[in-house]
Amino acid sequence: MRVTALAGGVGAGKFLRGLVRAVPAEDVTVIVNTGDDIVLHGLHVSPDVDSVTYWLAGVADRERGWGMAGETFRAAEKLRELGAPGSWFNLGDLDLATHLFRTDLLALGMSLSEVTQRITERFGVRSLVLPMTDDPVTTRVQAVDESGSSLDLHFQEYWVQRGAQDEVQSIRYEGAEQAAPSRGVIPAIEEADVVVICPSNPVASIGPILAIPGVRAAVAERDERVVGVSPIVGGAPLRGMADKLLPVVGVDVDAAAVATYYDGLVHRWVIDRRDTDLLERTAELVPVAGVFDTVMDTDSRAEALARYVLDLH
Ligand code: FO1
């Protein structure tokens, strides 16, 4: 069974670890958000691509969610001491190797997807990891700070530097309209037996992927083969800031309502057991509604969820 997953950060990483236990890893293609990529200290950082890579390679830090297990931050501390711009973003010492390698290969003229393939291979990842595009796309957040001043922030400035403290007014995916899906993205959607929308932040992680010309239409075309897992459990995201961004796009922060963000795209929608009271409402919004334990503390729980998602009809 060929599975194509649309993915962002931690929630996707956890789910994908289960997915590659449920089906052969070689049969999985992951299309990953690059809207929160950022250049820091001259290095190209692709947080979601790296999260997916580290989770699939089994080297992710389960607690922190991002970066590698056993990470140290000596270089980041020194950069802060030096007052380096961008030192508010913690690049781990091991993680730095990935960014140095990526930046070097990009400078040699390789595309982001070629570089990603090289990196995932070196990490022993057997699934195909495709950045959504090789073109520059940046998620930008228009917000107002506590003094009422308008801000136009890179997503990482909003989330990491400023701690999601500002009132968000709108979100845009800069460059998306001019971007092309990276090679393999559209065929991976067209040829999949199942297209999974991972339990990632809809606005920050999946929205940018769907904004790449051709992607939304390709997913919509797959109709009953498209299944999504709610990233909202008990009225809040398990991690991250989806609760702050969903209202900005007019979507309520609950497991059923969040399916409406994917209106016309998801055929089957899985909510968490804790939200069983929302099952009836979910069934009014999507053709097939399912309930399962979506909190993936372990790989076996993630595998059980992946099997449920693939079998739901
Ligand atoms: N998230 C943080 O909250 N603080 C950080 O300093 C931070 C550094 C970081 C470095 C590399 C990386 O791949 C991810 C990192 N993240 C950090 C996570 C990241 O900001 C977001 O959670 C994702 O971009 C959203 O999926």
Q: What is the pLDDT of residue 236?
A: 85
**167 and 236 fall within a common domain:** no
**230 and 273 fall within a common domain:** yes
Instruction: Provide the token pair at 89.
Output: 């973003």
The count of domains in the chain is: 2
Strands 38-40, 43-45: pairing is antiparallel
* Residue 143 domain boundaries: 138-177
**211 and 222 fall within a common domain:** yes
Q: Which of 177, 195, 228 is the last residue of a domain?
A: 177
Q: Residue 254 to residues 51, 92, 179, 232, 236: CA-CA distances in angstroms?
A: 25, 34, 32, 6, 7
Strands 236-237, 232-233: pairing is antiparallel
Residue 306 CA, ligand 1 centroid: distance in Å: 25
Half-sphere exposure of 301 (CA within 13 A, CB side): 10
* pLDDT tens by residue, 276-294: 999 999 999 999 999 999 9
Residue 71 domain-assigned? no
Residue 166 domain-assigned? yes
Residue 160 CA, ligand 1 centroid: distance in Å: 7
Q: Which atom of ligand 1 is nearest to the CA of 36?
A: 24
Q: Which atom of ligand 1 is nearest to the CA of 51?
A: 13
Residue 147 domain-assigned? yes
Instruction: Determine the distance from the C-alpha atom of residue 169 to the mean position of all C-alpha atoms in its chain, rounded to a whole number.
Output: 22
Q: What is the pLDDT of residue 238?
A: 87
**153 and 245 fall within a common domain:** no
The amino acid present at 201, given as its one-letter code, is N
Is the pLDDT confidence value at 299 over 90?
yes
The CATH number for 22's domain is: 3.40.50.10680
**221 and 248 fall within a common domain:** yes
The answer, yes or no, to whether any atom of ligand 1 lies below 6 A from the CB of 47, is: yes
Residue 74 domain-assigned? no
Residues 144/150, Cβ–Cβ less than 8 Å: yes
**40 and 127 fall within a common domain:** yes
- Our CA angle for 16, 19, 25, nearest 5°, is 90
* pLDDT tens by residue, 63-113: 999 999 999 999 999 999 999 999 999 999 999 999 999 999 999 999 999
**149 and 259 fall within a common domain:** no
Is the pLDDT confidence value at 48 over 90?
yes
Which residue, by CA, sits nearest to atom 24 of ligand 1?
47
**9 and 53 fall within a common domain:** yes
* pLDDT tens by residue, 176-192: 999 999 999 999 999 99
Residue 70 domain-assigned? no
The Cα–Cα gap between 188 and 191 comes to 5
Residue 220 CA, ligand 1 centroid: distance in Å: 30
Please classify residue 240 by burial: count the beta carbons closer than 10 Å to its beta carbon, then call 0-12 exposed, 13-18 middle and 19+ buried: buried
Residue 257 domain-assigned? yes
Residue 313 banded pLDDT, cuts 50, 70, 90: confident
**203 and 291 fall within a common domain:** yes
**What would the 3-class secondary structure string for the chain be?**
CCEEEEECCHHHHHHHHHHHHHCCHHHEEEEECCCCCEEECCEEECHHHHHHHHHHHCCECCCCCCCECCCCCHHHHHHHHHCCCCCCCCCCHHHHHHHHHHHHHHHCCCCHHHHHHHHHHHCCCCCEEEECECCCCEEEEEEECCCCCEEEEEHHHHHHHCCCCCEEEEEEEECHHHCCECCCHHHHHHHCCEEEECCCCHHHHHHHHHCCCCHHHHHHHCHHHEEEECCEECCEECCCCHHHHCHHHCCCCCCCHHHHHHCCCCCEEEEEHHHHHHHHHHHHHCCEEEEECCCCCCHHHHHHHHHHHHHCC
**282 and 236 fall within a common domain:** yes
Residue 87 CA, ligand 1 centroid: distance in Å: 12
Is the pLDDT confidence value at 228 over 90?
yes
Mean pLDDT of the chain: 97
**192 and 245 fall within a common domain:** yes
Residue 39 domain-assigned? yes
Residue 225 CA, ligand 1 centroid: distance in Å: 31
Is the pLDDT confidence value at 240 over 90?
no
**119 and 253 fall within a common domain:** yes
Residue 91 domain-assigned? no
